[in-house]
Amino acid sequence: MEEKQFAGILNGAVPGEPVKKDENSRRGNWGNQIEFVLTSVGYAVGLGNVWRFPYLCYRNGGGAFMLPYFIMLVFCGIPLFFLELSFGQFASQGCLGVWKISPMFKGVGYGMMVVSTYIGIYYNVVICIAFYYFFQSMTNLLPWTYCNNPWNTPDCSGVVGTGHRLNGSLANATTSLVVGVTEVVNRTKRTSPSEEYWKHYVLNISDDIGNFGEVRLPILGCLAISWFVVFLCLIRGVKSSGKVVYFTATFPYVVLTILFIRGITLDGAINGIKYYLTPQWQKVLDAKVWGDAASQIFYSLGCAWGGLITMASYNKFHNNCFRDSIIISITNCATSVYAGFVIFSILGFMAHHLNVPVSEVADHGPGLAFVAYPEALTLLPISPLWSLLFFFMLILLGLGTQFCLLETLVTAIVDEIGTDWIIRNKTVVTLSVAIVGFLLGVPLTTRAGIYWLLLMDNYAASFSLVIISCIMCICIMYIYGHRNYFKDVEMMLGFPPPLFFKVCWRFISPVIISFILIFTVIQYKPITYNDYVYPGWSLAIGFAMALSSVVCIPVYALYKISRSPGATFRERLKNSCRSHPKWGPALQEHRTGRYAPMASEDTVEARPLKEKEELKEEQKEEEKEKERKDEISLTIQGSNGSTNTHNNPNPSA
């Protein structure tokens, strides 16, 4: 019986097992391992899988792009994913607490928090625009179908006619379609109704990034809804979000499949898919293709955001995160490829209708999600239905990522402060972060908001993520020591990391990360939006945002060195890099081997004086914590992500 229970622990929770109490009653754990996998899939699979990967694929050689893409997945994506999951799970701490491994590098954790803050602010604005389009699709006729609206210009040319025969017969409608297509072919510069709806109605875009204008109230209202939904789903931490992801992480695949089946039945769909997949093998020799593949893998999996460490910290200590990392990484990349079929089947149909090459209707980013694809949907019968499904899918894809971004910040704050009050009132922290995030997002709902959104997207989480990830690899493998970390993983999983991952962690992945950084610098071009060129002062703000996360690393390192004991700089540096006495498994029952409590005072005396005093103080605090455990168990509420049961005598400490 005991052997079965131990085997169950090693493999994590599986369906059909009886409900177990939380292993870590202070922080809480996932209800079962499926919740963790679904949450991580929802985190990794985001808007970029739909609006960036398909575009990169056709621009970089179609099917030939798959070769460097999957090579980068194997040698960089999966190893980094496994590294971050094992890092968070071993320490059961968020992106700040894990740096007890080498306190001087805690600035990396602060850098992750800064990046997650930036992304969380603008990502929810994208979700709120998807909410707006979703609500606007609840109509008999999509508002971006025709050119007869007050916001349209004389250059507007629709793909389904001019709109003045709305009540005409089927024959008239057909004639209107032919006229519309003819107009498109004859025009040298076509402006679609969906583009004008996006620019002149939804955004009412200003002429300059500094010209904010008024707040777009409909977008502001949708932003409030978006943050409220995120808060509700995280109101009880991973206990509530773990249940929500059963829907938010799976239903997008249902929608993708529906849109895929509808798309491949349309005329011209095969041409779009051929355009997406036809290999151009000569491009495999182009360094830019490999750079794009490495960058897409790195950014798509969410490495260095802090979210993977945070989500893994709620796992049970012996969970098989090696298996999870492979499942989640492959699912993420397979979703990107699958989404390409969905996107290009519809775009191929649209190009067929317009009698133009697929390249003229293909787009990426907001241009694909809110202009090109919605316009293609207007050509379908019952177009509002397909529009509802598409934008509902975008909302769910965005929310899956947003849940983890918010939980990353909340967990870091709660773990860092660590008082009984803040653990009991984690919901208050979640609400506070959500309110601050909403307020910081308000400028992005103004007429200049899209300029700022794209500026944050291009600079806030670009090369800074690469630097953070590279330093994390160096710290774990070379400062803490690869042998120590391999032993930690073996103690946690019951088996050492495979040789392939050992080699990747130490050599291959850091080299690829460095390549991505160099590639990013070489390929840098100042950001533009359509014909608008960003002024120099706005680019300076963009670089300041990018550096604000990286600068945390040297600033905190210098602070830690100055506060560390030692007569010389070398001694201070050495002591600041040494692991904190509390580094290791969070629960006493897992602190075995070299993490076991010291057997004698002689071992304590061997430590530096300041470290010895810190350790004794911490031991006293632990004794006091144990005395208060029974009292806390009666007061801790569900807001900390743990369950309250009468038979759980070991509550949060």
Contact 469, 520 (CB under 8 A): no
Q: Count Cα neighbours of 337 within 13 Å in the Cβ-side half-sphere.
A: 16
For 109, other C-beta atoms within 10 Å of its C-beta total 25
44, two tokens: 């990794």
DSSP element (H, E) containing 242: helix 238-248
Alpha carbon distance 648, 651 (integer Å):
7
Long-range contacts (CB closer than 8 Å, 24 or more residues apart) made by 617-621: 618/581, 618/582
Cα end-to-end span (Å), the chain: 30
Residues contributing to the annotated binding site for Na(+) = 42, 44-45, 49, 300, 332, 397
Contact 315, 89 (CB under 8 A): yes
Alpha carbon distance 82, 329 (integer Å):
9
Alpha carbon distance 489, 481 (integer Å):
13
DSSP element (H, E) containing 374: helix 373-377
Q: Which residues pair with 533 in a beta bridge?
A: 528
Residues contributing to the annotated binding site = 42, 44-45, 49, 300, 332, 397
Alpha carbon distance 43, 408 (integer Å):
11
| Cα–Cα distance list, 109 to 81, 158, 315, 465, 510 (Å) | 16, 50, 19, 12, 18
Alpha carbon distance 42, 328 (integer Å):
9
**For residue 340, which of 127, 59, 126, 58 has the smallest C-alpha distance?**
58
CA dihedral 107, 230, 77, 394 (to 10 degrees): -140
- For 112-156, the DSSP string reads HHHHHHHHHHHHHHHHHHHHHHHHHTSSSS-TTS-S-STT--TTB
| Helix and strand totals (H; E) in the chain | 31, 2
Contact 488, 480 (CB under 8 A): no
| Cα–Cα distance list, 586 to 526, 544, 583 (Å) | 46, 36, 8
